[in-house]
Chains A and B, each alone.
Chain A
Amino acid sequence: MMRLDHDAMARRVAQDIPEGAYVNLGIGLPTKVADHLPVDREVILQSENGLLGMGPAPARGEEDWDLINAGKQAVTLMAGGSFFHHADSFAMMRGGHIDICVLGAFQVSVHGDLANWHTGAPGAIPAVGGAMDLALGAKRTFVMMELLTRDGRSKLVERCDYPLTGLGCVSRVYTDYGVFDVSRNGLAVVEMIEGLTLDRLQELTGLVLKP
């Protein structure tokens, strides 16, 4: 059994992003998805600091620091791209105009609750940024994460114990072990990596999963 690496996970997410979609890729792992979108598929990337039609990073030395993404990295603008202020940007999100948002997560519950902004650890300085707006604004919210923490605990949980980002907002979860859909009656396994069984997956997550 071979777990998917981050690039393979990103490639899998990219498969589910259709031609013509308006997409926001969250900071961290989800940014990798952009590298795996097929070149013949026109997908428009939004960055919540105020651009549509985000292109790849510029060549070294060509950076324009007035043209950055939400991770504050220098980016480029595609032909047809546009700039707008923050209220318009979050109206795109909150108003349901963005088709797909891909986010990282600490935990996702069987009901699609998301925890991805704060560990709640004592002394940690909280920073929420656009996480809560992104989580519930898009038509579909995808989560991309490793299934297990470093010490082997499942990040798919019955109930999040980290502080919540949003309630019932996640539609699909892409992991290194497989893909899961959040449905009315719990988590359904869309696909598993080769060699993995439903029993083993239930053992790893401690959850009752629907095939």
Chain B
Amino acid sequence: MIDKSRASLGQAVADIADGSSVMIGGFGTAGMPDALIDALIDRGVGNLTIISNNAGNGELGVAALIKAGRIRKIICSFPRQADSHHFDARFRSGEIELELVPQGNLAARIQAAGAGLGAIFTPTGYGTMLAQGKETRRIDERDYVLELPIKADFALIKAFKADRWGNLVYRKTARNFGPIMAMAAKTTIAQVEQIVPLGSIDPETVVTPGIFVQRVVATGAASERSELGAER
């Protein structure tokens, strides 16, 4: 019997090693897999490369991972925010390397990795400092920049519901990077509010088919959602 559910958060992240590349879902705190990140911090591994839209908000999630000193490099689109003080300090001290990627290119490069493409030509960034030194091509009178796929050893994402096959349903704008990160990582681990019996998710509403998900772990908690909001 296929059962991708894990009994604990610790078990779900037990093979993330020093130096791993890890995608972390979320836009701000919506969709951020905070419980999985806490479990990763507890594991004690470091020297990680993190791919995520932001570089942490306040004290939670990616911010906590940065504070704990576990990150070597961040690939993201929007690191600097009013509450990104942990990132700001480690970036200024040179402890964390930053690869800044326009948000749409970040999504497209992650999607390209998941779809098995060798590269993409994107118009975004053409003629700007973020495309310096990159190959360009003019196609149908428009200029494009060659960008490479972004893949990862692991993806940590947050969804609303899962079944034991790993099918996922998300909640509102917490979906954001979840579906594409799930496709781009060798091992995708989803934190969900509940794991429901196989067959109880309407197949027409499955957003991420289970083939892209290797582990799911339930954290309960509609109440956590409001606590997370209250932290802002």
> Using Cβ atoms and an 8 Å threshold, which residues of chain A touch B166?
none
Q: Which residue of A lies closest to B229 (CB)?
A: A65
Instruction: Kindly provide the distance from the CB of B24 to the nearest chain A CB, expressed in whole angstroms.
Output: 13
Q: Which residue of B lies closest to A133 (CB)?
A: B104
Chain A contact surface mostly: loop
Q: Is A93 an interface residue (CB 8 A)?
A: yes
Verify A164–B103 contact, CB threshold 8 A: no
Interface centre among B92, B171, B176, B225 (most CB of A within 10 A): B176
Stretch at the interface among A34-42, A79-87, A176-184, A187-195: A79-87
Cross-interface CB contact of B225 among A66, A94, A133, cutoff 8 Å: A66
Verify B129–A163 contact, CB threshold 8 A: yes
> Using Cβ atoms and an 8 Å threshold, which residues of chain A touch B57?
72
Verify A87–B110 contact, CB threshold 8 A: yes
> Using Cβ atoms and an 8 Å threshold, which residues of chain A touch B126?
136, 166-167
The contact size tier of chain A is 35 or more
Verify B107–A86 contact, CB threshold 8 A: yes
Interface string of A93-116 (1 = CB under 8 A from B): 110000000000000000000000
> Using Cβ atoms and an 8 Å threshold, which residues of chain A touch B101?
128
> Using Cβ atoms and an 8 Å threshold, which residues of chain B touch A129?
77-78, 102-103
Verify B180–A85 contact, CB threshold 8 A: yes
Q: Which residue of A lies closest to B57 (CB)?
A: A72
A130 to B29 Cα, complex, angstroms: 17
Q: Is A14 an interface residue (CB 8 A)?
A: no
> Using Cβ atoms and an 8 Å threshold, which residues of chain B touch A163?
128-129
A133 to B77 Cα, complex, angstroms: 11
Verify B175–A84 contact, CB threshold 8 A: yes
Cross-interface CB contact of A165 among B27, B122, B128, cutoff 8 Å: B128
> Using Cβ atoms and an 8 Å threshold, which residues of chain B touch A127?
77-81, 100
Q: A49-B173, A127-B78, A164-B127 are in contact. Are A86 and B180 (CB under 8 A)?
A: yes
> Using Cβ atoms and an 8 Å threshold, which residues of chain B touch A90?
103-104, 107-108
CB interface residues, B 172-206, toward A, < 8 Å: 172-180
> Using Cβ atoms and an 8 Å threshold, which residues of chain B touch A126?
79-80, 100
Interface string of B124-150 (1 = CB under 8 A from A): 111111100000000000010000000
Q: Which residue of B lies closest to A63 (CB)?
A: B229
> Using Cβ atoms and an 8 Å threshold, which residues of chain B touch A209?
none
Q: Is B28 an interface residue (CB 8 A)?
A: yes
A127 to B88 Cα, complex, angstroms: 11
Q: Is B117 an interface residue (CB 8 A)?
A: no
A126 to B190 Cα, complex, angstroms: 30
Q: A85-B175, A90-B104 are in contact. Are A125 and B124 (CB under 8 A)?
A: no
> Using Cβ atoms and an 8 Å threshold, which residues of chain A touch B125?
132
Q: Is B111 an interface residue (CB 8 A)?
A: yes
> Using Cβ atoms and an 8 Å threshold, which residues of chain B touch A93?
104
A163 to B228 Cα, complex, angstroms: 35
Verify B130–A128 contact, CB threshold 8 A: yes
Q: Is B30 an interface residue (CB 8 A)?
A: yes
Q: Is A45 an interface residue (CB 8 A)?
A: no
Q: Is A68 an interface residue (CB 8 A)?
A: yes
Q: Is A19 an interface residue (CB 8 A)?
A: no
Q: Is A146 an interface residue (CB 8 A)?
A: no
Nearest first, the 4 closest Cβ-Cβ pairs linking A and B are: A65-B229, A133-B104, A90-B104, A129-B78
| Contact sample, A vs B, 24 pairs, CB 8 Å cutoff | A48-B103, A49-B30, A50-B173, A51-B172, A63-B229, A68-B27, A68-B28, A68-B173, A72-B28, A77-B172, A85-B175, A86-B177, A87-B110, A125-B80, A125-B91, A126-B100, A127-B100, A132-B105, A132-B130, A133-B104, A137-B123, A163-B129, A167-B127, A167-B143
A66-B173, A127-B79, A137-B104 given; name 11 further pairs at CB < 8 Å: A50-B173, A65-B30, A66-B172, A68-B173, A74-B229, A83-B172, A85-B207, A90-B107, A125-B92, A136-B123, A166-B128
